[in-house]
Structure 1
Amino acid sequence: MQRRVAHNLVWMLVERGLQIGAGIGIVAMLARGLGPEGFAHIQYAQAVVYIASSIALICGGEVVIPRLVANQDPLAQHRLLAHAFRLRLAAGVLGYLLMCAFLAVTGQTVEFWLPALIIGVAVVLREPFGIVTAWMQAHTRTRPNTLFNLASLTVKAAGVALLFALGVHNVPAYATAFSLEQVVMAVLLTGFYLARAPRARVSYDPALVRELFSNGMLFWASFMLMMGSRRIDQLLLKPLVSLGELGAYAASMQILDNYVMVATILAAGIAPIYVYAQPTLAQARRNILKIAAGMMAVGVAGGALIALGAPWIIHLLYGSAFASAASLLQLAALASTLVFADVGLTLLPIYLRRPRLVAIKWGLVFAVTVLIDIVAIPRFGVYGAILGYAVANLLSVLFGIVIWLRSANAQPAAQEARA
């Protein structure tokens, strides 16, 4: 069993690594192919879609996977997956409609509407069909999902590369390449599951839907607040700065989004053995402190290298049109080092199975981010958004430290509440 778990973990880490590399290449082609203003159009659309997609995160893996593991009966699992799919699909459609309402209320032009509507296909497809991914994880089948992710990512990368090679400067065309990734992924997941699923009709059970909804509510709120805090800056920036400045800011943050993903990869590789498998809280706390310190060191080293090489990195990836992004990247890279410590410290509430603490943290972070951005962006422009990003990261780390200090005598909550 340990060998199988390790094998699945290797596949997951390989997938994440390839996603980072491909993501950097795709963003570089987008920036060079569309220029600062066109890049701002598609990045703003992605920010809106990113926030809207959080609505579809209801009934996540934290709710579904433990139930699948607890009941191995294929018919029972099929029934559970069917109800979770319906719940996610309804939330996805709601998220898409709310996204359209936001674009209408804020009076966005067609240059922002079209890419958002096209990329927004992900809101309806990613999480509902991603229920098959939860089923695979419950059966420790990471390899097929990794291959599907890589296949769909290849389609997106190939589409972007083809458009770039043809000299296309049309934003909706690139947005279509992004939406194809989710369409391909949904088709592959559906085909894989239906080939193995029971051929039984599932009758609708309102009680089960209510149970899945209520049990996933706290996780849902946490995810929406987390994703909102990570993209709200671009929504607040857009009316107050030029498209060129928004494009430069988005370019620098795209690099950091790929960089801080390393933190989640490190945590995923370390936590199962050195945190979750620990029999006592005392040992888990000691290990979490060491992990957070070590990850912080990694973050500082990487952030410093990015800051030092920012002008070269921006020129290499985006070209001279994005030269103004270099100074933004330097400041944001230094602020991103705190993310590594935060990811390490977040392992504690997960170990304690206290998702409420995670929800509280992201609620505070979201509120502080919005408050600082509202005050600082009108005065300092994109640098005000970086200030909000830095303070939000600092608040997350301080919250994690407080939880660590106060957890000496804590007891893990019930297994069903595990984050």
Structure 2
Amino acid sequence: MRQFNVASNLAWMLAERGLQIGAGIGIVAMLARGLGPEGFAHFQYAQAVVYVAASVALLCGAEVVIPRLVANPEPLAQHRLLIHAFGLRFAAGVFGYMLMCVFLVVTQQSIDFWLPALILGIAILLREPFGIVTAWMQAHTTTRPNTLFNVASLTVKVGGISILFALGIRNVPAYAVVFSVEAVTLAALLAAFYLARAPRERTAHDPQLTRDLLSSGALFWVSFMCMMASRRVDQLLLKPFVPLTDLGAYAASMQILDNFVMLATILSAGLAPVYVYAQPTLKQARQNVLRIAGGMAGIGVIGGVLIALSAHWVVQLLYGAAFARAVNLLQLAALASALLFADVALTLLPIHLRQPRLVAIKWGLALIATLIVDAVAIPRFGTYGAILGYATANLLSVLFGLAVWKRYRNDEPAAYRVNA
């Protein structure tokens, strides 16, 4: 029965994520073919800048909000908490948007990069602040509306991109507007859903609650910022050293792998509740984490090899002959991406131990490794240097995960170790 429940949960998660992955692949393919290598490079670079800046808005995440909502189900208390968390996230989003503008000024980007970044950056002000409603729904185990809202906003984006592509429009800001419309649509749906159910009483600002939310989420915040920066900083470092066509080819290959690696997060989320978090002793949890890591590493290797072998066909099908340079890059990066499957599984142990400090350290090390290797290798080897940095960061993350697994090996109940 337990195996059936796990399989059922995985099937639902795969179906939902599969829709998002399929739509994402289709959107990227239309962007690449519609904009060409250089236009695609402009768009992807702007997205990378926004992606890194958006990490600042991850302040006071679901890990902080949901447990507090579950602990106090009183509607007015929950509304008060959500208002404070929204304020923190929105302030962080404004700060992230300003940091993005400062970066574009300091690096002296042209209008070709400025305009799409400013438009795409609207999502920084909307996604995380209004995403607080998603945390509220998760606390109430009411996730179906959120799924429907995501599908609705995704449909808007797919429809808009398809229209621009069919019309033969090659204007980068036009495609950026569609992405922002998706963020606006999702924010409006979430806001309308919550406001229709929220208490009407006004809530006064509580400085102590704000400080508590800040301190509780600080480690998660740092961890998320390091994670998101390590995943996109390579494209920011590449731009000054390679032609735009090479940057576009590298971004195209990494877009494929982003969708492939998403499978690892789906598998870990489906397996962890039963096989890790529900285990009564640390010994059993550790054993299962290692088994999951081994199995997921195998899946990563098989998937990486298959992608590498079919790279020419995949690139030709999705992006066309103009992106032929992406074939070799995809082959190498696909093999390195297999390490991420083991890393995602090994990260389950520090999460089970409620040790966000360890996750923050891991992503901090990965970011530092990426910066160091890229700074040395990119000026010499261009896009291949970026792949070397990607592989090095992945390997370091796995080694760190194994070190944590070896360190916490006493056969004690997990709750005892957490409280110790």
- Please report the TM-score for the alignment, with normalisation by the length of structure 1: 0.96
Structure 1 residues 416, 191: CA separation in 2 closer, same or farther (over 3 Å shift)?
farther
1:137 is matched with which residue? 138
Secondary structure of the corresponding residue to residue 321 of structure 1: helix
2:385 is matched with which residue? 384
Q: Tell me, in whole angstroms, the C-alpha distance in 1 between the residues paired with 2:10 and 2:81.
A: 25
8 Å contact from structure 2 (residues 264, 344) kept in 1: yes
8 Å contact from structure 1 (residues 354, 412) kept in 2: no
1:108 is matched with which residue? 109
Alignment of 1:221-300 (within 5 A): 221-300=222-301
Which amino acid is the alignment partner of residue 191 of structure 1? Answer: A
1:25 aligns with 2:42: no
Which amino acid is the alignment partner of residue 216 of structure 1? Answer: G
1:162 is matched with which residue? 163
1:183 aligns with 2:200: no
Q: Tell me, in whole angstroms, the C-alpha distance in 2 between the residues paired with 1:71 and 1:10.
A: 32
Which amino acid is the alignment partner of residue 285 of structure 1? Answer: R
2:40 is matched with which residue? 39
1:303 is matched with which residue? 304
1:59 is matched with which residue? 60
Structure 1 residues 413, 95: CA separation in 2 closer, same or farther (over 3 Å shift)?
farther
8 Å contact from structure 2 (residues 9, 270) kept in 1: no
2:339 is matched with which residue? 338
Deviations 1:134-168 (A, max 9, x none): 00110111111111111111111111111000000
The offset of 1:17, in angstroms, is: 1.4
Which amino acid is the alignment partner of residue 33 of structure 1? Answer: G
Q: Tell me, in whole angstroms, the C-alpha distance in 2 between the residues paired with 1:4 and 1:150.
A: 25
Which amino acid is the alignment partner of residue 261 of structure 1? Answer: M
Structure 1 residues 161, 111: CA separation in 2 closer, same or farther (over 3 Å shift)?
same
Structure 1 residues 13, 228: CA separation in 2 closer, same or farther (over 3 Å shift)?
same
Q: Tell me, in whole angstroms, the C-alpha distance in 2 between the residues paired with 1:259 and 1:176.
A: 27
* Structure 1, 124-133 or 9-18: larger mean CA deviation: 9-18
Structure 1 residues 307, 121: CA separation in 2 closer, same or farther (over 3 Å shift)?
same
Which amino acid is the alignment partner of residue 237 of structure 1? Answer: L
1:403 is matched with which residue? 404
8 Å contact from structure 1 (residues 352, 411) kept in 2: no
Alignment of 1:62-101 (within 5 A): 62-101=63-102
1:313 is matched with which residue? 314
2:193 is matched with which residue? 192
8 Å contact from structure 1 (residues 148, 188) kept in 2: yes
Deviations 1:45-72 (A, max 9, x none): 0000000000000000000000001011
1:364 is matched with which residue? 365
Which amino acid is the alignment partner of residue 394 of structure 2? Answer: N
Q: Tell me, in whole angstroms, the C-alpha distance in 2 between the residues paired with 1:142 and 1:388.
A: 38
Deviations 1:254-274 (A, max 9, x none): 000010000000011111111
Q: Tell me, in whole angstroms, the C-alpha distance in 1 between the residues paired with 2:418 and 2:159.
A: 42
% identity of equivalent residues: 72
Which amino acid is the alignment partner of residue 286 of structure 1? Answer: Q
The offset of 1:101, in angstroms, is: 0.6
Q: Tell me, in whole angstroms, the C-alpha distance in 2 between the residues paired with 1:49 and 1:166.
A: 27
Q: Tell me, in whole angstroms, the C-alpha distance in 1 between the residues paired with 2:11 and 2:199.
A: 30
1:352 is matched with which residue? 353
Structure 1 residues 53, 26: CA separation in 2 closer, same or farther (over 3 Å shift)?
same
Q: Tell me, in whole angstroms, the C-alpha distance in 2 between the residues paired with 1:318 and 1:63.
A: 41
8 Å contact from structure 1 (residues 12, 146) kept in 2: no
Q: Tell me, in whole angstroms, the C-alpha distance in 1 between the residues paired with 2:12 and 2:226.
A: 29
2:209 is matched with which residue? 208
- Please report the TM-score for the alignment, with normalisation by the length of structure 2: 0.96
2:122 is matched with which residue? 121
8 Å contact from structure 2 (residues 280, 413) kept in 1: no
Size of the alignment, in residue pairs? 416
